[in-house]
Structure 1
Amino acid sequence: MNTPRTLAATALASILLVFCAPLPASAAPGDDTGTGAEIAYRTIPGHGGADLAAMVITPTGYDGPRPLLVMPAAWSTSNLLYVGAAHRLAYESGYQVISYTSRGFWDSGGEVEVAGPEDVADARAVIDWALRETDADPERVGMAGISYGAGISLLTAAADDRVRAVGAMSGWADLAESIYANGTISYQAVELLLTSAKITGRPGDALQEMEEEYRKGNVQPALELSPERSVATKLDALNASGPAIMIGHAWNDGIFPPGHLTDFYSAYSGPKRLMLSAGDHATREAFGAFGLPNETWESLTRWFNHHLRGIDNGIAAEDPVRVEPNNGDGWTSYPDWDAVSAAETTLHLGEPERSWSDWRYTGGLEAEPSTGWDYRVRSGIGTTAESGTLLLRGALQQFADIPTGVALPLVDRRRAGVWTGEPYTGGVRISGSPRAHLTVTPTDAEQSLYVYLYAVNKHGTGSLVTHKPYTLRDAEPGQPTSVDVELEPVVWDVPDGHRLALVVDTRDARYTDESDLGERVSFGSPESDPSRLIVPTA
């Protein structure tokens, strides 16, 4: 398991990479470009007297009011984060851009408030300043950001109807669902955020209280603060103002997994666009922030050009949902998120048992229900089934096509339930959110479960397709409990001859477990409610 010190080093390395990124040279002006851009450091008064350090990027060679883009920096980063992308947006498209350091970090005043009301008030104050001090057009205001900046941008759009377009990359819609999915603490993500905030910023009272209680095992303060910091709770206001929202995200984002964002996207009724592809938190758009060629930023620029500059560039006529396989190339477009899944296959969990071809206890993923069985495993010790290390897992998948692997014969059947299906002739594309319905019987009131879906070859070696944690809370020991787990959405091409494997165990290094040594958990499939796996396909 990664230590806080290791996670802090990872955060610092990311920050240094951002700061060392070179700015691009100005492009030669074309039919629709200016002649360059000027970059100036400014101190902008934020909410409550907190001064915000900002980079103000102003295009030259443009007449009349310019569309405005406000970009709050990501967690633990500074206003330098977007200067490369902002420079391009200014000199190529004539945007007045302000990239500012979020309160509490680096050279900005105030304290870290975790996207609280003060952060939204800061963003509105930056808009006020820009409309007062620059030649920005009040009718053409947009916001964009990565991670923390994405969350603040969405929250500001819900509070301020001057914001007409938003670009949210690697952000969140439901903060509690991100860090406490199905009652399970995302340990590596929380430790990274807390440690990096101490190194690069000044945590405020709310964040300090959350950490103090978290160290005691109490997540309630964090859960109580989450609704106000989650744009999913502000859909009515957002739907009423109707800004044009583009979301760019990675399948393997370990800080803000994509499932809650697809729910938010579907519930939002205004103009919208969704791009999902391989990568981890911020890895998909990081190079674009430096000003380098990047597909997410290029699409975002087209999005802003249409909705803030009124350019008919064809983006409005395109299907708005674009997905790329997590293990392949090539984008596929759909009219909405539901259309990503064309069909579903229900596979029933059979009793784990030995056979002449499999000496380990393994159940089948079968076409017909298999009921009346019970399979017991030990709790509190992990297996070789793991979700992978935060940031590293998704980055390896994106840049090197190296997935989080598994050798199914090495998964300890005394500590995990394992089920495999038949090989797919010609392969199959999993497309959407697989769902597992299980009946479990714990011997303790609290029990963590980790549900993994793999694609494996005939030797049982393969790749993690998707996963999801689930922690039973206040369960009745010894009593069967039905558990429904919706795994994270994914598009994954299962090769010809490979099969699916479902693994459920009780420990994962990425999360904080409620699985104690000496406890047990049983998996079963009662006749009245067979256990099953539902697989969406394209």
Structure 2
Amino acid sequence: MRDPHQSLRSTTAGAVSVTLIAGAAFGLAPAAQAAPTAQAAPRATGVRFVDIAGDGGTKLAANVVAPAGAEDGAGYPVIVLPTSWAVPQIEYLAQARKLAATGYVVVSYNSRGFWQSGGEIEVGGPEDIADASKVIDWALANTPADPGRVGMAGVSYGAGISLLAAAHDKRVKAVGALSGWGDLVGSIYSGRTQHVQAGALLGGAGELTGRPSAELRTILKDFLGSNLDKEPEMLAWGAKRSPATYLDRLNENGAAIFLANAWGDTIFPPNQYADFYEKLTGPKRLEFRPGDHATSEATGLLGLPNDTWTNTRRWFDRHLKGERNGIDQEQPVQLKSRSTGGYEGYPDWKSVGATSRKIDLTDGATVHTNTDSGANGGTVLLSNALDQFLKLPPVASIPLLPRRYAAVWQSERSARVERVRGTAKLHTTVTGTKESGTLVAYLYDVGPLGLGKLVANAPYTFHGKTPDKPFTVDLELFSTAYDVPAGHRLALVVDTVDPLYVEHNPSGAQLTFSSPSTDPSYVSIPLREQ
């Protein structure tokens, strides 16, 4: 299938080294050093820096870029861009200039609690949602913006706020949500397991570049400290900040929703975005590409060609300007393979892995906990970026994995290329010697020499189980698009320790994996037909 159109985008990269640390945290794209000059887009006006009164009068540091000649009073579509977590307000200036040069008024603002904006960090809470509406109010009152053509977009934190705002403000007609979240709890607490590197980076970047609220500090302390007594409060806090909670409102308002993310996003895994996409009923588009959190958009933020930003602009051109550019005639689900770099189109998410095959996990295994076997998901932001740019995913030598700490099952060698597309699913029976525990499942592509390249992984944690009593585990691994070469095997590895996640294995615990004849264990591999 042909490449969707390529794009240019630029960002504010590297204002200070601290922003690079922040960029690791909550989907922040790298921040840029200097604002692009006015000469970069001759049809856009210069940048105007303003302060906007947000919810409760809180100062929001913002900037405005409008089309040249906008002073004539004509009504232009307007796009509001909330910044990413911990990134300064100049983050989107290159993209703002490109949009303004083609007829958009663009207002970008620093999310509350960060940098020059006032208030405290609320993580997409009610204050952030109200801020977005206040910025729209300001744009309609102070720029030649058309109230009937309002869009919102952003990367990571800006994506989440944009989706939440679209659910609460009917004026938002189109959204570009890049590397964002539909389900906050399902992102950093999937499998009831804390994604510790993601949470720690979020908290650290917030402290370095902003002012976390007392509520956020408490939530992070309880989350990272595994305070299970506070789990109901943490879940309620996350649900309030999840666009998926407001699906009925989003669908009723009918905004056109464009979602884009990376296969290896270690902050907001792709599964939760795909689930969210499937439940939207209005105009919608879903794109997945290789990379980690916000790396798919990063080259565009640096002013380089970038498919994600090109298609974001095409989306706005269609749904705010009414241009018949063909984007709504293309297959709405667009996937870029990690292996070939080619694009594939599908009518919906469920068609991605239309066929599957099961690998039976017939042999039982017992693993000792508390020790990393050597199989792991890599490092937040880094490992999957290496996969994106250098085709170097996390690897493990499957024959050398210590069976005392890892259970390993392998398929037969495949006679042809197997195109893994979508979500692999593990079904097994587990018996623990303690009432709590954590396991992490990995799917590897194993070559002739036994070197395994990571295809997918996911954690799973249990509490309150009766020791030595078997129970069933059903676990969805993070979705992907990966081609397993002919002559290779697939291997499922399960261990109990991974630096990406908090483990809940009491000292000395063991986990036994079995395959009862009445309920056999297996891993289901989603495949695209040849």
Identity %: 45
1:366-416 CA distances to partner (integer Å, 9 max, x unpaired)?
A: xxxxxxxx4221111111100000000111011111111111012110111
Aligned match for 2:460, one of 465, 470, 473: 470
CA contact (8 A) 2:431 2:467 kept: yes
How far apart are residue 460 of structure 1 and its match?
Answer: 1.3
1:263-316 CA distances to partner (integer Å, 9 max, x unpaired)?
A: 010010010011101010011102213433211000110000010001011111
Moved over 6 A (4+): 13-16
Unaligned stretches of 5+ in structure 1?
1-6, 30-34, 352-373
1:193-225 CA distances to partner (integer Å, 9 max, x unpaired)?
A: 000000000011210221332354225232220
Give the distance between the partners of 2:156 and 2:451, measured in 1 at CA: 34
- Secondary structure in 2 matching 1:309: coil
Query: What's 1:42 paired with?
Result: 50
Query: What's 1:323 paired with?
Result: 335
Aligned match for 1:19, one of 18, 21, 32: 32
Letter of the structure 1 residue corresponding to residue 196 of structure 2: Y
Aligned match for 2:441, one of 414, 434, 451: 451
Give the distance between the partners of 2:470 and 2:244, measured in 1 at CA: 33
> Following superposition of structure 1 onto structure 2, how do residues 104-503 of structure 1 map, counting pairs within 5 Å?
104-218=113-227, 220=231, 221-351=233-363, 374-503=364-493
How far apart are residue 10 of structure 1 and its match?
Answer: 5.1
Give the distance between the partners of 1:121 and 1:296, measured in 2 at CA: 28
Give the distance between the partners of 1:519 and 1:409, measured in 2 at CA: 24
How far apart are residue 148 of structure 1 and its match?
Answer: 0.4
How far apart are residue 425 of structure 1 and its match?
Answer: 1.3
How far apart are residue 9 of structure 1 and its match?
Answer: 8.3
Give the distance between the partners of 1:407 and 1:200, measured in 2 at CA: 40
Give the distance between the partners of 1:510 and 1:324, measured in 2 at CA: 25
Query: What's 1:75 paired with?
Result: 85
Give the distance between the partners of 1:479 and 1:44, measured in 2 at CA: 59
Aligned in 2, Cα 1:23/1:526: closer, same or farther, shift over 3 Å? same
> Following superposition of structure 1 onto structure 2, how do residues 500-511 of structure 1 map, counting pairs within 5 Å?
500-511=490-501
Give the distance between the partners of 1:519 and 1:10, measured in 2 at CA: 39
1:311-349 CA distances to partner (integer Å, 9 max, x unpaired)?
A: 011111111100011232110011111111121112211
Aligned in 2, Cα 1:277/1:535: closer, same or farther, shift over 3 Å? same
Query: What's 1:363 paired with?
Result: none
CA contact (8 A) 2:51 2:59 kept: yes
Letter of the structure 2 residue corresponding to residue 444 of structure 1: K
Give the distance between the partners of 2:114 and 2:40, measured in 1 at CA: 32
Aligned in 2, Cα 1:26/1:425: closer, same or farther, shift over 3 Å? farther
Give the distance between the partners of 1:252 and 1:21, measured in 2 at CA: 29
TM-score for the superposition, normalised by structure 1: 0.91
- Secondary structure in 1 matching 2:47: strand
Give the distance between the partners of 1:286 and 1:123, measured in 2 at CA: 24
Pair 1:99-2:111 in alignment: no
Unaligned stretches of 5+ in structure 2?
1-16
Give the distance between the partners of 1:222 and 1:234, measured in 2 at CA: 18
Give the distance between the partners of 2:218 and 2:194, measured in 1 at CA: 17
Give the distance between the partners of 2:446 and 2:457, measured in 1 at CA: 15
Aligned in 2, Cα 1:12/1:259: closer, same or farther, shift over 3 Å? closer
Q: Which has the higher contact order (CA 8 A, sep 6+)?
A: 2
Aligned in 2, Cα 1:17/1:254: closer, same or farther, shift over 3 Å? closer
CA contact (8 A) 2:199 2:220 kept: no
- Secondary structure in 1 matching 2:491: strand
CA contact (8 A) 1:23 1:290 kept: no
How far apart are residue 509 of structure 1 and its match?
Answer: 0.6
- Secondary structure in 2 matching 1:527: coil
- Secondary structure in 2 matching 1:84: helix
- Secondary structure in 2 matching 1:284: helix
- Secondary structure in 1 matching 2:206: helix
- Secondary structure in 2 matching 1:266: helix
CA contact (8 A) 1:250 1:258 kept: yes
CA contact (8 A) 1:242 1:270 kept: yes
Give the distance between the partners of 1:440 and 1:343, measured in 2 at CA: 27
Give the distance between the partners of 1:23 and 1:295, measured in 2 at CA: 20
How far apart are residue 79 of structure 1 and its match?
Answer: 1.1
Give the distance between the partners of 2:159 and 2:365, measured in 1 at CA: 44
Give the distance between the partners of 1:274 and 1:236, measured in 2 at CA: 19
- Secondary structure in 1 matching 2:66: strand
CA contact (8 A) 1:87 1:291 kept: no
CA contact (8 A) 1:46 1:121 kept: yes
CA contact (8 A) 1:155 1:230 kept: yes
CA contact (8 A) 2:300 2:309 kept: yes
Query: What's 2:508 paired with?
Result: 518
Give the distance between the partners of 1:274 and 1:13, measured in 2 at CA: 23
Give the distance between the partners of 2:69 and 2:238, measured in 1 at CA: 44
Give the distance between the partners of 2:382 and 2:327, measured in 1 at CA: 33
TM-score for the superposition, normalised by structure 2: 0.92
Letter of the structure 1 residue corresponding to residue 393 of structure 2: P
- Secondary structure in 2 matching 1:476: coil
Give the distance between the partners of 1:176 and 1:376, measured in 2 at CA: 31
Query: What's 1:360 paired with?
Result: none
Give the distance between the partners of 1:390 and 1:465, measured in 2 at CA: 16
Give the distance between the partners of 1:56 and 1:476, measured in 2 at CA: 60
CA contact (8 A) 2:31 2:91 kept: yes
Letter of the structure 2 residue corresponding to residue 445 of structure 1: E
Query: What's 2:75 paired with?
Result: 65
